[in-house]
Structure 1
């Protein structure tokens, strides 16, 4: 299996996700669920094939992490849809997954079977995979925040805010596990749990931003719209932590977390 086979898995997966999104709008929940899950199986088949072909988890380059994000977005979407029946969530997850898939199609990464010694730790794979799922959940929470801020015509209901909160709770929980796995990985690879590397610094900033949102929401007299704006700011910080750090001068040649082919 090579990168050139990606289109043969990505295309049917996206079509299945799109059919699932259409089924959701038509209130055919069973069909939406089956179609979305089928697409996930097809897409994950390529990830597993790349795993076998590369003889390592496909987690090293930005292209490889985009694979996981493209997978976890529809997974998070179907979880939210199954729980709360928001019809638009599958459309969102499909469109955003398609964006990342197109980036990988038009800008293919050069994959290598080799891994630097630091990336050969057993903690590396769970660290990245858990983080990608956290990012997908927090991405869904961000879309909810945008919807409530700019598209909701009537007053924001308690139930709608509760959905947003639950996504943040779950996303922050997985992010916390990801940081713990990363600390164990760092201890094994570099001899210390935390070194305030630029990537680690922005990870801490992002984690505190989402924690701040949760604490602010617990205040009896909090402003709901200010809370939603806080959530959007936290997502911007998350993007900085994920890929923006690669363009900072402080990370060039200094951060062990910057991605390269």
Structure 2
């Protein structure tokens, strides 16, 4: 009773803080001068991290196993993983052109908000593990998979941001070239003289702007590569440990279950990303990572919506039945 009450309190506290933090983030997008709001949002993220940590520990003590047996618990752990990635640059106090928190904070906020919403109320109740899940591999396999999902999602979003900035630059260059072609010829000499007079004033501004844009693209590419590389390691460990667990539980290392199939597709997509990132331009690898963003959600969430296969524990179909 005490653990259930404490879990209920921590859930409401974390959800309330998350609601306040997302409001502060929206305000800081409109008003950049208010530094105190940004500091308050960071403190709110830290407070929410400790609340979710306390929620997981409380549920762990109450259940006697790591709370990763259904969709609600895995969403809580996914949100906790986002907070881990969010807090790394915060404690290292790195000041870069790109703030990694712009990706991790909204991801953690929306995941936590969905997990604590009324859609998964039936999964909030504690339940005894089914025999297939009563294994020491539960902690190893599921935790590695969820940590891998969190890292790969963050890295994929960084790649999406890279593509947006890159193609926005290309669109501007294309539009400027069209304006140059459509200039009236009768005023060609006058325009040439005016452009020659203004070129010294605008060159420094444009070069500085292009420099910072290129630096931002390079940082997005570097952070994306690092985070996806870390997530790929987690995903590989999770798949290998899951294969060993499957052999113990079902007598076969691989059964081509829908969850296993999409996990393999996810692993293949990001293996292609790492290969492309090493041998080709960052734009090509960013396109592959952007495709991987959708594949991850199909693997993690879409298969649970169907509720089929050997990994249907805690899915919407099994809960309704």
Range of TM-score over shorter length = 0.7 to 0.9
For residues 188-227 of structure 1, what are the alpha-carbon distances to aligned partners after superposition, in whole Å with 9 as ceiling and x for unaligned? 21122211111111111110110011111221xx243222
Q: CA deviation at 1:115?
A: 0.8
- 1:89 paired residue number: 100
Match of 2:238 among 155, 158, 178: 178
Unaligned runs of 5+ in 1: none
Q: CA deviation at 1:97?
A: 1.7
Unaligned runs of 5+ in 2: 29-33, 170-212
Matched, 1:128 2:186: no
Distance in 1 (CA, whole Å) between partners of 2:93 and 2:229 is: 15
Matched, 1:238 2:296: yes
Change (3 A) 1:105 1:34: closer
- 2:165 paired residue number: 151
The RMSD of aligned alpha carbons is 3.1
- 1:76 paired residue number: 85
Matched, 1:67 2:49: no
Q: Which has the higher helix share?
A: 2
- 1:98 paired residue number: 109
Task: Please report the TM-score for the alignment, with normalisation by the length of structure 2.
Answer: 0.69
Match of 2:311 among 244, 247, 257: 257
Which region of structure 1 is more displaced relative to structure 2, 143-152 or 173-182?
Answer: 143-152
Change (3 A) 1:147 1:117: same
- Figure out how many residues of one structure are paired with residues of the other and give that number: 254
- 1:187 paired residue number: 247
Q: Which structure's CA Rg is the greater one? A: 2
Distance in 2 (CA, whole Å) between partners of 1:147 and 1:126 is: 32
Which region of structure 1 is more displaced relative to structure 2, 180-189 or 150-159?
Answer: 150-159
Distance in 2 (CA, whole Å) between partners of 1:115 and 1:44 is: 21
For residues 9-46 of structure 1, what are the alpha-carbon distances to aligned partners after superposition, in whole Å with 9 as ceiling and x for unaligned? 44347767988997xx9499999877654542232011
Distance in 1 (CA, whole Å) between partners of 2:151 and 2:64 is: 29
Do the aligned partners of 1:142 and 1:235 also contact (CA within 8 Å) in 2?
yes
Match of 1:209 among 253, 269, 272: 269
Change (3 A) 1:131 1:20: farther
Q: CA deviation at 1:76?
A: 0.9
Q: CA deviation at 1:148?
A: 1.0
